[in-house]
Amino acid sequence: MGFARILKDESGRPSGYRECDGEVCWLPRQESYEHKFRRIKVELGTVRVLNHDFLCDRTRVYRQGILLKGISPEGFRVINAVFTGNHQVIYTPLGDAKVAYPESFEALDSGGIPENGYFPVSYGRDEEFVYFYDGSTDTRHAIRVRGCQDPASFVSFGDGNGRDSRRQFSYGRVKQGS
């Protein structure tokens, strides 16, 4: 038996996936080896590690070691630090973002942690709605920004604030007085 090596993404950051003797398993960061890990089936020669949670091969996509059934690896990519997905589905770090039109989805910022913040925030939009994700909320998905009547004009300032052609928004809500 050989030593397990941590699989790294394209930018060299470590993921939650380990490879040993041709087998791959999921073992999340800051977890001890006492916890069960998930062994996954992949074609090792075609593996792409996207980030800490996502890995795909020629035919499958995995999130945290769980096969995403019915999701194609075609076009699956990291969109920004918060959103990952393809034309079929968009994910946040906590789960399905529940985007209405994933084929037209685009991130509007880098998805970073704002100054004096603790969790990543990000705005994104599809052809009909603007979405906001805040890692500190109880929802696993992005919320639709109510009050945004012109998604095509929406601009994110990258700190949880943004605006469309009519209003200003803060953390996905209309700012008072705008």
- For residue 68, give the nearest of 90, 36, 98 by alpha carbon: 90
**Domain positions in the chain:** 1-69, 79-178
Please check whether residue 23 is in contact with residue 5, taking contact to mean a CB–CB distance below 8 angstroms. Answer: no
Statement: the pTM of the whole predicted model exceeds 0.85: yes
Alpha-carbon span 33 to 35, nearest angstrom: 5
Q: pLDDT tens digits for 151-174?
A: 999 999 999 999 999 999 999 999
> Which residues touch 38 (CB under 8 Å, ≥6 apart)?
25, 26, 64, 65, 66
Over residues 27-62, the pLDDT tens digits come to: 876 555 556 678 899 998 999 999 999 999 999 999
**How buried is 67 (Cβ within 10 angstroms: 0-12 exposed, 13-18 middle, 19+ buried)?**
middle
Position 140 pLDDT exceeds 90: no
